[in-house]
Structures are given as C-alpha cells and as structure tokens.
Structure 1
C-alpha cells in the first residue's frame, strides 16, 4: 500500500513485492473497505459452516438414531430439517468430523441370532469347565477356492487386464487356524464326516496329541455323531458356532485372502493351484491378527487354557 501512496500503479506495486495483480487488487479493496484491519490475515479454518454448532449436534443425534446412511439420504435429511443444501463432498466432510465410517456393510444373514456372541460365550464357558489343562485353541473350516475367483482390484487408465490360465481348477480345502498351535491345511475328496474325522486326526498328530479346543460351524459333517465321537476319543473338544455366524470364525479372513491371492497369480496346473493355496495358508496362519478381534471378545473366558 505504501508503494501506491508513493505513486505506483497496482501493477507496479505488485511487481515490487512479488505478488499477483489479483492479490494486489484484493488487498486494495480490503484497505479501502476496512483500512489496516482489512489486511490482517484471519486463520479461522476456512468458510464457516452453514449449520450452527447446535444444528450439527442435532444432526449427529438424528444420524445415530438410524445407524447406516447413504450420502444422498443425509443430504435430504439436512435439506428437510434445516433447509440447507450441501454437496456430497460437503456432507462427507461433516460425517467424517462426526467420526463416522464410510465402508461397505458387513453382510449378516437374517437367520443369524441377535445374541450370537452371547451364545458362543456360553458354549465356550461350558467347554472350558470341562478342560483342566493348557490346550491348543483354533478354528476349523472348509472352503473350495477356484481359479475363477476374482477378488483383486487394480488402478488403471484403461480397463485392467491380467494374463491367466482360464482352465478351471477347484480344490476342496480343509484348514485349521490355531491361536497357539500348529496350523494345518489339507485337500480332501469330499466334506463328509469320514473326511472331517481324517482331518481331525491330522490336526491332533501335528499338535503332538495335545488337547484341542476347536471352534467350528455346525455343518452336517461337523455335528455328525461319528465326528463328535471320534473328536472326543482323540482329545478334541468341539465348540459349535451359532448358526449363520461366519464372522465369529476367524479362519474366514484367511480364505478371503487366499482367494485374493489366487486372482492375481498365474496358475499353470492343478498342482500349482494347490501349492499356491497351501503356501498362502501356512504364511497367513502364522499371523495372529486374523484372530485379534475374536480374542478381544473371548480371551477372558479362555485365559486359563492359553
């Protein structure tokens, strides 16, 4: 401003202090309107919100009452309740400031009991009362990965492509993911009680005959009298998950990771397909992170067994 008072035009004054003409004219307008105070910067975090603090709190409480929202629904709610229009981006910023999460919903079968966690807690407590020694604790499940699985997403300027052997391979896979023992993965012809018993025998041998607390779903082959009788005879206590509750079986995350690995791997043959599954399972089963959330819920019940 001193340069202008000395006779410089706006362009020349801007050149002296190395700022753009646009900034110079903005400063000049601020000076003319507000004087010196108009040139003092105010770092107030950007444009004020259209919603007041009180309105934001009201919005937050309304959002809590439902649970899950689409961005368009929140926009419509703000318009209806406060007669204010926001863009999707602005709504997203508000929701993040509320510490809300934007993610795909985790599917829960409608037949899953509302108290599934409590049911499993009761089953675990009953099993623990019958075991009077340290034991191996782990999860059992079967899966059938196949080469047609396509779980991996890629960033690309064009449509992503991957060179694959389009021959279809499928492997009926049994897995044991332990919290504190030796993991096991095997390929079985079928998923009948006979093959489940064979897999239980292998698990027991790999873990040196230690008592095993086994968490598994209530598939027909698992709850068969033949399976339960054989498990008991070799020191395996089975705890069945509530119906339609795969989220309570930590091994499910390993199967998802294996399918993702398959989708990005060139499979030459049935043998290489199985070896990919086997190697990936052993690698992932060494990680305790897949069971960490489960342990946070149920470890207090199992602490005497670990």
Structure 2
C-alpha cells in the first residue's frame, strides 16, 4: 500500500482524528528511551567501539537497523566522541598517574624546604623528538583529489625541547641523544634560566637515567622527576611535538635550514601556550605550587 492510500484508508476508517500523529512530531524513533539507556550502558563498558560493531550490536540486541550516518547522530546525542584512539602501551602501569604524583610531590617537598620567601621554582618538561619532512598529519579540503607540492627530499632533525610552565623554553638540534648531549642540554636550560630552582619532568630514556646525566642535573640544581615507564601521555610536551608535525605537513621547504627554522619557530610559539599543560597542572600540581609557577 502506498503512503497516499494509507492516509486515505485512515480517513475512511476513523475520520480526521485518525490522521493526527500519536507521537511528539517527526519520525518516531526506532529505539525507545529505555532501549537507548540500555544501549548507552552497554557502550560504556568499552572505549574502543567501531561504528560497524555498534550497528551490529543494535541489530542483534534490539532488532533495529540504522544507517551509519543516522547511527553516528544517535551516538553523538548520547555524548559519545569518535576519533583515533590514543595508543597506550600494555606495559604501562595501571597506577601510572598515582606514581607520577608521588614522585612529583617528593621532589617538590625537597625543593620547598630550600625555597626562600618570594622565590620561584620552574617546573618544566623535557623530551626529544625526530620531526621529519615526511610527516603528513593534516586533512585538507579539495574538489578533486587533495594534493600539495613539496620537496620530496627527506629531512629529519633530532630535536631536544624544554617546555616550562614558567621561565624560558629551550629547543636545540643535536646529532644524537646520548648522555653527553643530554648533559649539554641541561647546561643550556640552566643558562636560559640562571636563577630559579628547576623541577624537570622527563621519561626513562637510558640517556636521561645515565649517572653522568643525573650528576650534571644535581650539579646544576635541577631536580629530575622521571615518568612511569611507557607513559608518554603524562608529558604535555608531546602535544607540542604533534603540533610541530602538523605545521610540517602543510609547509614547503627548499632547504634543510628552512626545515630546522620552522621547527624552532613552531616550538617557541607553541611552548608559550600553557593550555597544553593546563589539565596536567590541575591533576598533578599542588595548589601552592600552582601559585608559585603560574
């Protein structure tokens, strides 16, 4: 029966009243409110659902089939987000955040006992990265297949970065990441921040843990706080490296010097933004040190 005949049949059977909708207007939902709540509870048990999996679940559990497009709208209305999952190493400790907070609290207590009135402490993050001209992390819009002219000569740069909550940020290019280069970078950080006490958060890379590096840090008055293993997500500087890779994706370089200059300029610009570390600060930094540092 066509839609027109269906409405005519209703009119003949019940008159005007039979033509009035018996729902709130618009197309009635296939899932009831109760079923939506049940679906939401099921989906809350995992953080890695694909659209295909949810589509299959809805069909098997509730006997309802949605188009992918409509299903995405429903999931968004439930407050779900869709994106590339952040990869976490299976060897990462379950209590990684708790361990970092304990280590940071211990370091800050050591520093606090030596602080004089009105004296500041710099809290910052150190890391190395190796940006490459082959980075391609930005999606672009185009009427045809998107393309971008670029120099296909491959450049890369072993880059050391220091991202402080206060104080001076530092970025340098090194031929390698051996302990000698780490010590040199500690010295550069101290040169740019000559007076304040420094608490430095960094990962467990072997060069960072080397005795020479730890001695150099102690000599320079830098308190080292090591992240739990396999926990790069607890270092806000990672977001700066990702930002630099996005900048590289849309840039054109004729020479390696231009490539290095973009990395340096991007680091200086991005490291001036405390927004990359705002969540970290509220989660890990005691309130009294938040006032000292920011």
Secondary structure of 1:62's aligned partner: helix
Q: CA deviation at 1:106?
A: 0.8
| 1:138 aligned partner | 124
Secondary structure of 2:217's aligned partner: helix
Secondary structure of 1:49's aligned partner: coil
2:223 equivalent to 1:237? yes
| 1:212 aligned partner | 198
Q: Residue 239 of structure 2: which of 243, 250, 253 is its match?
A: 253
Give the whole-Å Cα distance in 2 for the aligned partners of 1:170 and 1:51: 52
Give the whole-Å Cα distance in 1 for the aligned partners of 2:290 and 2:249: 38
Q: CA deviation at 1:26?
A: 11
2:290 equivalent to 1:303? yes
- TM-score, normalised on structure 2? 0.88
Task: Assess, with a 3 A threshold, how the Cα gap between structure 1 residues 230 and 147 changes in structure 2: closer, same or farther.
Answer: same
Give the whole-Å Cα distance in 2 for the aligned partners of 1:292 and 1:260: 21
Q: Is the deviation greater in 249-258 or in 152-161?
A: 152-161
2:281–2:290: 8 Å Cα contact kept in structure 1?
no
Equivalent pairs counted in the alignment come to 283
2:132–2:157: 8 Å Cα contact kept in structure 1?
yes
1:184–1:203: 8 Å Cα contact kept in structure 2?
yes
Larger Rg: 1
Structure 2 unaligned residues grouped into runs of 5+ = none
| 2:142 aligned partner | 156
Structure 1 unaligned residues grouped into runs of 5+ = 1-24
1:209–1:235: 8 Å Cα contact kept in structure 2?
no
Q: CA deviation at 1:92?
A: 1.7
Give a deviation string over 1:230-285, Cα, whole Å, max 9, x none.
10111100100111111111111111111111121111212111111111110111
Give the whole-Å Cα distance in 1 for the aligned partners of 2:37 and 2:135: 45
Task: Assess, with a 3 A threshold, how the Cα gap between structure 1 residues 94 and 296 changes in structure 2: closer, same or farther.
Answer: same
1:209–1:234: 8 Å Cα contact kept in structure 2?
no
| 1:173 aligned partner | 159
Give the whole-Å Cα distance in 2 for the aligned partners of 1:145 and 1:299: 30
After TM superposition, the structure 1 = structure 2 runs for residues 284-295 of structure 1, keeping only pairs within 5 Å, are 284-295=270-281
Q: CA deviation at 1:30?
A: 8.7
Secondary structure of 1:175's aligned partner: strand
| 2:62 aligned partner | 82
Give the whole-Å Cα distance in 2 for the aligned partners of 1:263 and 1:131: 41
Q: Is the deviation greater in 207-216 or in 82-91?
A: 82-91
Give the whole-Å Cα distance in 2 for the aligned partners of 1:27 and 1:56: 30
Secondary structure of 1:303's aligned partner: helix
Q: CA deviation at 1:152?
A: 2.0
- TM-score, normalised on structure 1? 0.84
2:129–2:241: 8 Å Cα contact kept in structure 1?
yes
